[in-house]
Structure 1
Amino acid sequence: MTEFEGQIWAAQDNDDVNFICTTKRVKKKIKAINDKGRELRLIEDKLLWQHPSQAKGLEDWQTKLTTIQATVDSLRNDIDVALLWETALELEISGINELADLYFGDEITTEHLAALWRTLAEARFYFKRRGKDWEVRTASQVEELKTQREREQARAKAQALARDWIQKVAKTPIPAFPHLSTTQNDSGNGKSEVFQVKEASKDIMPFVERMESWLRGDSDKDVEELVSRTVGAVKLTPRELVFEILQKIGRMPLNADRDVIVAGLKPEFPAAVNEAAQAVPPWLPADTQSTTSVLFSIDDEETREVDDALSIEREGLLWKITIAIADPASVIHRGNILDREAMRRGTTVYLPTQTVLMLPERISCDIASLTAEQVRSSIVIRVWVDDQGEITNSSISREAIQVLRRLHYSDADTLIEQGEDDTAQRLRDLSTIATKLQAQRIAQGAFTLQRPEYRIRVNDGNIAVTMIDKDSKSRLLVAEMMVLANHIAAKYAYLHQVPLIYRVQDSPLEPITEEMTADPLGFHKVRRLLGRSSLSLQPSGHSGLGLSMYTQLTSPLRRFADLVMQRQLMAHLVGEQLPYNKDELLKVLETAERTARESRLVEGEAKKRWIMQYFKQTWGNQPLKVLVINDVKGGYKVEMQPWGVEAYLATSNRLEFGQLVTAVADKIRVKAGSIRLKIQ
């Protein structure tokens, strides 16, 4: 053995065969030079056929290799692989040596074998490799492989067609709300346009139908992959892009609810869920069960899911507050079809265009809703407080109740300020207690930030924006009573060792003072200081609310997490086995919380788009006041007053943070939910 052995071999590399020149052997391991002049190591088992010639060195190896490769290529050009397959199949011949003998006859060289191997490797329809040898495929196998290739080629062609078509259609502009007969286009240049639908050609319709199915929730990797390649260029999500494409070609109504469809929300319930809801009988109290009268519920005018109602009365030196909470757990049991659907939805979603319920209307708006003058099952939380708002006692029970009167917030505010009947006085009593409860929480570190809030409703393209009265006494009253009820429920669970999910919040990074919250920029300063919020199986403080422990169960008709907490607490109250252990609680609640976060994001994005459309339609070039928040490149981030909507003010002027300035709209991008302003 020398330092340059010089043997020339045809060596196997999976399906391929390459010529190598050995340089050295150590037992069964071989060092060699490949056809590209690179060193490699391989085992003897990879060697197929030795060439009769010998290389004397690297230069001689390259010379001989050139001759060998030319001979192999020439032989390959003469091989009719289909003829070889037909003959081999007929004569039942298999194996590389037998096939070479069949086709070439005479003397078989290393070049013949290498040429045949490479040809067979490229003719996988007809032959298949097994280790170091080749077998002839049957006629049925060949036909199946050809059909498969035709399908793959057709698929590749269809994908190329779909890709080019998507990219072309994606570039066609479409207004954010094309169903409006004339609207400013979304480029923000102020021009008006009427959107014209352009139908797709027949050859692309199969892919269009697949996009429709994908948007409805069917899995389709091809659609997802092709759409994902385009979204970056148009700054849309895959679902937004497909929605817009379908609108552009007339396969999606121009007045289709973008937010509902893109988010994958289902306003309609499956037939089986509706049937189950219709089969739930109205709740009736037992013959021996008395009915508790509760004075009133207070909600927004359009609210249909009435979760809570309130009463207050004097008992000696104390006030007895009754907080009645809807009890859907009395008719929806864990694991049934209604429960599974509620868990899947997670929460009711409130959009400007419609409300997507968590529970079927028959349950959430009828038999479980605390409808005035109807007897309902309820979780009743009673709290006794003194004149200073100090809690002296509390209780929780499941009772039959009847709400005597439904009030809207505007009604309640009017009664508090001007009313002279008993309801007005009870509202004032509750308002007084609520103010004292809030003051106690603030003394314990709670803080309140008076953020601007608005409600936006869309009906037949008409946009109505209403500011919510942040000084409403009835809203404060209801909010404080719900905080109180949730706090009492948390304390009950802790004292009775009922596994429950507590909502905790760490202390802020630094104390939040009254001066901070009163500052026009208070919200933006305070939110940077807030402690982390989380779910916990152990009670702990909630710094933002100023409470030692807190849970949530006061909105069971529209939050699945609240329904779960209610179900757990009620099982303990009536002596039943608890429906959830600790691990199950965390698993269910984490899923519900994730769904709720996604829903809030959908609500926020929808609200931003519609408020931008509102500004385009009704505000135009009218001046508006903006609050300067902080500086950004080329201008400032501002809040438009009174809505509290963030915007970008492009200006080189030097402005102070917290300063109010007058501006006008420069560019409004409805789809992006953004607006650029300029100094008037």
Structure 2
Amino acid sequence: MARLVRYPGPGCVVEFMQGNQPQLAYVVEEQSGRLRVLTQNRREAKLPASRLLPWSGPAYPANLSRADTERLLDSHVAKRRELAAGIDVLELWSMAQGEVEQAKAEWFAELLWADPDPDQVAAMGRVLLDCKTHFKFHPPEFIPYSAETVESRLVEQEETRIREKLVGVGQAFLKELWQSGNGPVDVDKLRAKPDAETAPLLAAMLKARIADPDDKEPDLLWRELRRGLPEHPYLALLLAERWGIVPPHYNYLLDRAGYVTGESWAEPYADEVAQLRRRRDELDAAIDPRPFVSIDAATTTDIDDAFVAECDGEAIRVSVAFACPAVHWDFSSPLGRAVLDRATSLYLPEGTSHMLPRELADDIYSLRQGEPRPALILDLRVDAGGEPTLTGLSFGRITVAANITYYQAEERLSADSASCADMAADTSTGLDRLDWAASRDLASRLRERRIRNGAVIIERQEPEIVLDDGDTPQVRLEVKEPTPAAQLLVSELMIVANELCARWAMEQGVPLYFRTQDAVLPKDAAGVWTEPEDVYRVVKHFGPTLLEIQPKPHKGLGVPAYCPVTSPLRRITDLINVAQIQRVLTTGQPMFSRDELESMQPSVSARLEAVGKVQRFRPRYWKMLHLLQNRKASTWTGVAVDECGGLVTLALPDAQIFVRAPRDMLGEKLYPGQRFALRFGKIDPLCNEIRVAEAHEEEADV
């Protein structure tokens, strides 16, 4: 039987690597370690002996004709391929495990053949070379990988295979998808279509880019996929919308915030919710008999505050109650951790998404009329000068006498012209039990006192965004009938309650989360501002509001300290603070120490900021879409509020957004408050781009 040749010379059959594949050759000439060979591809080549694979042979006469040599090579190529096809390399790897750390191809060949010839050894070497997941070639030997390494390399190999396939299929598909035009596309009509394996992977890639466009890990793959497509900050979103894997006008901000809308997120916590309902029903606490009233929008179902007010001579006695889901709350439970991550409720034109499961927010803990609910009750007295004094803070249960709307409250507050000093409270049932004159005077006193303390109060009518049904919704901006007295009452009650709870916490040494704004405001900034140019001027001096453990002034509100407690159904800071206060009132100890609150603060702030961006930016998208839909039919009033360089900032009071226009478009004379009729050119709601095409000064009202 032919044997392997240790030192191949003329007439010897050899193998070498070319293009990552073994190539067969016949040695024609050898000189000082350099070989001239005829390859299986009928070509002559020169190569050093060091390039040869370690299984040379068999040897033939050196003077064979070219035709005989070619037939010889073809014969060995066919034989070695046939032999390699019959080798179970994975079985060989199993046999080698624990037997050898490394071995030559001959050793592995001997596991199958008693006395392997060169073709059998070469076939074995080819199979081992090709199985890179299980063997490492360290010439002249092969090293079997461990089971752990094999598993890792198999995963890597599969990822490489999928990546290559994804790029090959995805590039053409995405390019054709982009070139198909705006709007949803019939994917079945495209020439390039991903198959059942690549389609979900490609869709997942687009969704991942929508959620985190700055993720560096898949960035190289994304660069390959988007090759030949334009640079666009929302390319993945636009492609996903055209493909139909996300709906038109998709709210990508939710993905970036990691916030799930709807109620599906709460389904895993149904048992915890049911347990909270049982514990609420078993709560044994006295019911406060006073006729608390809540004031909210007509669509509000998560009612988390109510109040009652009455005259006390020249002073006004007030009690503010806020919902107390914290009475049985466990922040470390699965539901508690999920709510910490949600951080706040979202109120968007598309719909409301609650921080808490809807059953908790709208039912179990909502201060619904006629139903006993656990609550924190803050009692205070406001003197004739508007100075509030805390007279009590307690935990108990209340039964709200009435849930009313802002319009109903406005009617009550506006109809009664009597002042607190000469008002005789009606003691009949229902809403008439509430001293509406005292309530109106209360709001005025509290606001005037804050203004004296430097408060900057912004009053502007925010339009309601209404979306008509359909895949391409028509956006309407509706201005609701104002309810200034009711809005003033509710806002002042919430501010004073948050201020007095902050004072109480400071006096008692109870750690809470405080909202601070320790900015330096001009002396003339204090007051109520309504005109766009005035609003813009004073707001420029505002510093950011911060969430801190250390109480500091909130200069914009004109209060020395402020801790949010009045919306525990809607904001995580309020829920945590209410839990702190409730535990101190009932057990003498807070739920969290100061150190624990400090350790939680970065994540709480980060989640509030991330979800808060959705609340701030999404309404602007719809407003700009409204401008786009009405661009040709309407002009918009723009009020000049600031000039910087060659651009002028204009406020649009009807939409409550700002735009910029070139200075030379607005004429020679320009002053804050100057009004212009604007027409817009390009509007891109997604990229937040809007260009003023025309501007004509409006005549001033006489």
TM-score band w.r.t. shorter chain: 0.7 to 0.9
Q: How many angstroms does 1:565 deviate by?
A: 0.6
* 1:332 and 1:339 in contact (8 A); partners too: yes
Q: How does 1:163-242 map to 2 (within 5 A)?
A: 164-165=171-172, 168=175, 171-172=178-179, 195-199=184-188, 201-213=192-204, 225-227=220-222, 230=226, 233-237=230-234, 241-242=235-236
Q: How many angstroms does 1:406 deviate by?
A: 1.4
Q: Secondary structure at the match of 2:616?
A: helix
Do the aligned partners of residues 151 and 289 (structure 1) sit closer, same or farther apart at CA in structure 2, a change above 3 Å counting? Answer: closer
1:247-273 deviation line (CA, Å, top 9, x unaligned): 322334458665545654312224221
Do the aligned partners of residues 627 and 553 (structure 1) sit closer, same or farther apart at CA in structure 2, a change above 3 Å counting? Answer: same
Provide the C-alpha distance between the structure 2 equivalents of 1:68 and 1:510, rounded to a whole number of angstroms: 90
* 1:351 and 1:606 in contact (8 A); partners too: yes
Do the aligned partners of residues 356 and 627 (structure 1) sit closer, same or farther apart at CA in structure 2, a change above 3 Å counting? Answer: same
Provide the C-alpha distance between the structure 1 equivalents of 2:376 and 2:694, rounded to a whole number of angstroms: 55
Provide the C-alpha distance between the structure 1 equivalents of 2:636 and 2:686, rounded to a whole number of angstroms: 22
Q: Which of residues 239, 245, 248 in structure 2 aligns to 1:245?
A: 239
Partner of 1:137: 143
* 2:185 and 2:244 in contact (8 A); partners too: no
Q: Secondary structure at the match of 1:580?
A: coil
1:314-365 deviation line (CA, Å, top 9, x unaligned): 2355321010101111242232232111101111112110111111111000
Q: Secondary structure at the match of 1:667?
A: strand
Provide the C-alpha distance between the structure 1 equivalents of 2:631 and 2:688, rounded to a whole number of angstroms: 16
Q: Which of residues 658, 667, 670 in structure 2 aligns to 1:656?
A: 670
Do the aligned partners of residues 591 and 459 (structure 1) sit closer, same or farther apart at CA in structure 2, a change above 3 Å counting? Answer: farther
The normalised TM-score by structure 2 is 0.71
Counterpart of 1:88 in structure 2: which amino acid? K
Partner of 1:667: 682
Q: Secondary structure at the match of 1:448?
A: strand
Provide the C-alpha distance between the structure 2 equivalents of 1:253 and 1:222, rounded to a whole number of angstroms: 26
Q: Secondary structure at the match of 1:384?
A: strand
Do the aligned partners of residues 139 and 672 (structure 1) sit closer, same or farther apart at CA in structure 2, a change above 3 Å counting? Answer: closer
Partner of 1:383: 380
Q: How many angstroms does 1:619 deviate by?
A: 5.6
Partner of 2:164: 157
Cα RMSD (Å): 4.1
Whether 2:553 is the aligned partner of 1:537: answer no
Q: How many angstroms does 1:89 deviate by?
A: 2.3
Q: Which runs of 5+ in 1 are unaligned?
A: 1-66, 94-101, 103-119, 179-194
Partner of 1:327: 324
Provide the C-alpha distance between the structure 1 equivalents of 2:311 and 2:159, rounded to a whole number of angstroms: 80
* 1:243 and 1:262 in contact (8 A); partners too: no
Do the aligned partners of residues 304 and 236 (structure 1) sit closer, same or farther apart at CA in structure 2, a change above 3 Å counting? Answer: farther
Provide the C-alpha distance between the structure 2 equivalents of 1:147 and 1:278, rounded to a whole number of angstroms: 46
Do the aligned partners of residues 518 and 350 (structure 1) sit closer, same or farther apart at CA in structure 2, a change above 3 Å counting? Answer: closer
Counterpart of 1:79 in structure 2: which amino acid? L
* 2:637 and 2:652 in contact (8 A); partners too: yes
Partner of 1:265: 259
Q: Which of residues 274, 278, 282 in structure 2 aligns to 1:278?
A: 274
Counterpart of 2:624 in structure 1: which amino acid? M
Do the aligned partners of residues 372 and 463 (structure 1) sit closer, same or farther apart at CA in structure 2, a change above 3 Å counting? Answer: farther
Q: How many angstroms does 1:168 deviate by?
A: 1.2
Q: How many angstroms does 1:485 deviate by?
A: 0.5
Provide the C-alpha distance between the structure 2 equivalents of 1:149 and 1:501, rounded to a whole number of angstroms: 47
Whether 2:439 is the aligned partner of 1:430: answer yes
Partner of 1:16: none
Q: Which of residues 342, 360, 383 in structure 1 aligns to 2:339?
A: 342
Provide the C-alpha distance between the structure 1 equivalents of 2:533 and 2:35, rounded to a whole number of angstroms: 81
Do the aligned partners of residues 68 and 489 (structure 1) sit closer, same or farther apart at CA in structure 2, a change above 3 Å counting? Answer: farther
Q: How does 1:464-503 map to 2 (within 5 A)?
A: 464-467=476-479, 472-503=484-515
* 2:512 and 2:597 in contact (8 A); partners too: yes
Partner of 2:309: 312
Q: How does 1:14-29 map to 2 (within 5 A)?
A: none
Q: Secondary structure at the match of 2:376?
A: strand
Partner of 1:440: 449
Q: How many angstroms does 1:487 deviate by?
A: 0.9
Provide the C-alpha distance between the structure 1 equivalents of 2:50 and 2:292, rounded to a whole number of angstroms: 97
Whether 2:523 is the aligned partner of 1:523: answer no
The normalised TM-score by structure 1 is 0.73
* 1:509 and 1:531 in contact (8 A); partners too: no
Partner of 1:604: 616
Q: Secondary structure at the match of 2:502?
A: helix
Q: How many angstroms does 1:623 deviate by?
A: 1.8
Larger displacement relative to structure 2 (480-489 or 267-276): 267-276
Q: How does 1:556-595 map to 2 (within 5 A)?
A: 556-595=568-607
Q: Secondary structure at the match of 2:197?
A: helix
Partner of 2:403: 406
Q: Secondary structure at the match of 1:298?
A: strand
Do the aligned partners of residues 656 and 475 (structure 1) sit closer, same or farther apart at CA in structure 2, a change above 3 Å counting? Answer: same
Do the aligned partners of residues 150 and 342 (structure 1) sit closer, same or farther apart at CA in structure 2, a change above 3 Å counting? Answer: closer
1:606-628 deviation line (CA, Å, top 9, x unaligned): 21111122223346431221012
* 2:390 and 2:500 in contact (8 A); partners too: no
Counterpart of 1:276 in structure 2: which amino acid? E
Provide the C-alpha distance between the structure 2 equivalents of 1:388 and 1:173, rounded to a whole number of angstroms: 69
Q: How many angstroms does 1:491 deviate by?
A: 1.1
Q: How many angstroms does 1:402 deviate by?
A: 1.0
Partner of 1:677: 692
Do the aligned partners of residues 361 and 153 (structure 1) sit closer, same or farther apart at CA in structure 2, a change above 3 Å counting? Answer: closer
Do the aligned partners of residues 510 and 388 (structure 1) sit closer, same or farther apart at CA in structure 2, a change above 3 Å counting? Answer: closer
1:550-572 deviation line (CA, Å, top 9, x unaligned): 11111100101110011011110
Q: Secondary structure at the match of 2:401?
A: strand
* 2:322 and 2:377 in contact (8 A); partners too: yes
Do the aligned partners of residues 670 and 236 (structure 1) sit closer, same or farther apart at CA in structure 2, a change above 3 Å counting? Answer: same
Do the aligned partners of residues 83 and 449 (structure 1) sit closer, same or farther apart at CA in structure 2, a change above 3 Å counting? Answer: farther
Q: Secondary structure at the match of 1:281?
A: helix
Alignment coverage as a number of residue pairs: 567
1:395-430 deviation line (CA, Å, top 9, x unaligned): 111121111111211222222222699547733322
Larger displacement relative to structure 2 (247-256 or 219-228): 219-228
Do the aligned partners of residues 212 and 301 (structure 1) sit closer, same or farther apart at CA in structure 2, a change above 3 Å counting? Answer: farther
Whether 2:324 is the aligned partner of 1:351: answer no
Larger displacement relative to structure 2 (614-623 or 600-609): 614-623
Counterpart of 1:209 in structure 2: which amino acid? P
Provide the C-alpha distance between the structure 2 equivalents of 1:527 and 1:74, rounded to a whole number of angstroms: 78
Do the aligned partners of residues 226 and 632 (structure 1) sit closer, same or farther apart at CA in structure 2, a change above 3 Å counting? Answer: farther
Do the aligned partners of residues 174 and 332 (structure 1) sit closer, same or farther apart at CA in structure 2, a change above 3 Å counting? Answer: farther
Q: How many angstroms does 1:197 deviate by?
A: 3.2
Larger displacement relative to structure 2 (301-310 or 265-274): 265-274
* 1:307 and 1:370 in contact (8 A); partners too: yes
Do the aligned partners of residues 597 and 451 (structure 1) sit closer, same or farther apart at CA in structure 2, a change above 3 Å counting? Answer: farther
Q: How many angstroms does 1:375 deviate by?
A: 1.1
* 1:326 and 1:370 in contact (8 A); partners too: yes
Larger displacement relative to structure 2 (207-216 or 262-271): 207-216
* 1:651 and 1:678 in contact (8 A); partners too: no
Do the aligned partners of residues 343 and 531 (structure 1) sit closer, same or farther apart at CA in structure 2, a change above 3 Å counting? Answer: same
Partner of 2:24: none
Partner of 2:391: 394
1:274-330 deviation line (CA, Å, top 9, x unaligned): 342234326347667233333311111211111101110123553210101011112
Q: How many angstroms does 1:652 deviate by?
A: 2.7
Counterpart of 1:75 in structure 2: which amino acid? P
Whether 2:312 is the aligned partner of 1:298: answer no
Q: Secondary structure at the match of 1:652?
A: helix
Counterpart of 1:375 in structure 2: which amino acid? P
* 1:310 and 1:322 in contact (8 A); partners too: yes
